[in-house]
């Protein structure tokens, strides 16, 4: 690899770090302008003015916003996410198990959705404009049109209420047997899979069809290669970069966009944890979870950009 590739990768990493810093500012500012009073929400409406003033001083709410931001950022950089205002728990400790639950759910949704999306995209290209292509595209369009909360409630209604195959509430705990855990996450993982599957499939199909219009593909057709060989040996390898990009974007959604699905299935992950503490106006928790979600999203997008750079033959083999 030459210096142009290394320079581009360094630029992407620097841009990702800068973007994460900017997002941290937005998260902090957004939590500061939320309506209501943190001290009031903790002590209740019957709290005396003296008690409220003492709690604000204890929480450091009397400090200027810029001071509180850099105190928070300094803590994050040293691994200290702060303490939850309502439960007095260390946030990093409380988040650990929930982050694992969210990653576990996203992992199994990705294991199913990514290969299936690529396979369906390849089948749609192989039989384009035929019954198979139109059926797959129709399913993708219908799936994309339905919001995840609607898909989730449909799955609960049919598979938890009517058929009673899976639990409607996805309760998991430490030490839970693997088979029981998989059964518990079956419905939320299916909901996430259906949400991202259609988008990845459509983008895979579009990327491969775009490559199929290239001159070297026409040459391969003139040589008498079968459609399957053309797609496998020429079209798919050259469409890897945009496919990797869309896969990474959807993997980011699987981690960051689980909030609605986790709430529907009462799944003890990061999304449920965030919603619980938004209602309590627990600002440190909201800041910590928001920053973790942003870091995951930015990191996966940065990996997608780097993969696209490495997959570009003009950069790998400059003249």
Residue 46 lies in a domain: no
Residue 241 lies in a domain: yes
Residue 40 lies in a domain: no
Residue 67 lies in a domain: no
Radius of gyration of the chain (CA): 24
Record the tokens describing residue 110, joined without a space.
Answer: 């990705």
Residue 238 lies in a domain: yes
Residue 23 lies in a domain: yes
Residue 150 lies in a domain: yes
Distance CA 273, CA 270 (A): 5
Distance CA 296, CA 252 (A): 7
Contact indicator for 234, 216 with CB cutoff of 8 Å:
yes
Strand partners, 83: 90
Of residues 155, 145, 139, 137, the one with CA closest to residue 191: 155
Please tell me whether residue 90 adopts helix, strand or coil conformation.
strand
Record the tokens describing residue 75, joined without a space.
Answer: 């803590």
Of residues 116, 249, 110, the one with CA closest to residue 192: 110
Distance CA 143, CA 151 (A): 9
Per-residue pLDDT of the chain (319 residues; tens, 9 = 90+): 457 778 888 888 899 899 999 999 998 888 777 666 666 666 666 677 777 777 677 666 667 778 888 888 888 888 888 778 777 788 888 888 888 888 888 889 889 988 888 888 888 887 888 888 888 888 877 877 778 788 888 888 898 888 888 888 888 888 888 898 899 889 999 988 888 888 888 888 887 777 777 766 667 666 666 666 777 666 767 677 777 778 887 888 887 778 888 888 888 888 888 888 877 777 888 888 889 888 988 888 888 788 777 766 665 555 5
Domain count, the chain: 1
Both ends of the chain: CA-CA distance in Å? 13
Supply the range of the domain harboring residue 293: 3-35+81-316
Residue 271 lies in a domain: yes
83 φ/ψ angles, rounded to the nearest 5 degrees: -125, 135
Residue 8 is part of a domain; what is its CATH number?
Answer: 1.10.3720.10
Contact indicator for 121, 235 with CB cutoff of 8 Å:
no
């Amino acid at each position: 690899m030459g210096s142009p590739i290394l320079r581009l990768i360094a630029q992407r990493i620097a841009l990702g770090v800068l973007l994460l810093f900017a997002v941290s500012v937005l998260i902090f500012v957004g939590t500061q302008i939320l309506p209501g009073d943190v001290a009031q929400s903790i002590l209740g409406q019957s709290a005396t003015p003296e008690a409220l003033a003492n709690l604000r001083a204890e929480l450091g709410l009397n400090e200027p916003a810029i001071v509180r931001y850099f105190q928070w950022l300094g803590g994050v950089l040293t691994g200290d996410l702060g303490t939850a205002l309502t439960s007095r728990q260390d946030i990093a400790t409380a988040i650990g198990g929930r982050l694992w639950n969210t990653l576990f759910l996203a992992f199994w949704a990705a294991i199913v959705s990514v290969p299936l999306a690529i396979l369906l995209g390849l089948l749609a290209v192989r039989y384009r404009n035929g019954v198979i292509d139109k059926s797959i595209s129709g399913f993708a369009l219908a799936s994309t049109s339905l919001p995840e909360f609607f898909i989730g409630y449909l799955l609960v209604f049919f598979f938890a209420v009517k058929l009673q195959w899976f639990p409607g509430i996805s309760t998991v705990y430490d030490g839970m047997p693997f088979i029981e855990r998989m059964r518990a996450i079956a419905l939320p993982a299916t909901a996430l899979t259906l949400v991202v599957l259609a988008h990845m499939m459509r983008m895979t199909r579009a990327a491969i069809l775009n490559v199929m219009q290239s001159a070297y593909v026409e040459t391969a057709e003139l040589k008498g290669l079968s459609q399957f060989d053309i797609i496998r040996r020429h079209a798919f390898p050259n469409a890897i970069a945009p496919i990797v990009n869309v896969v990474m974007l959807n993997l980011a959604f699987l981690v960051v966009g689980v909030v609605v699905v986790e709430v529907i299935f009462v799944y003890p992950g990061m999304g449920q944890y965030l919603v619980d503490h938004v209602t309590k106006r627990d600002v440190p928790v909201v800041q910590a979870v928001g920053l973790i979600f942003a870091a995951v999203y930015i990191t996966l997008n940065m990996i997608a950009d780097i993969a696209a750079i490495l997959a570009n033959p003009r950069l790998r083999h400059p003249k």
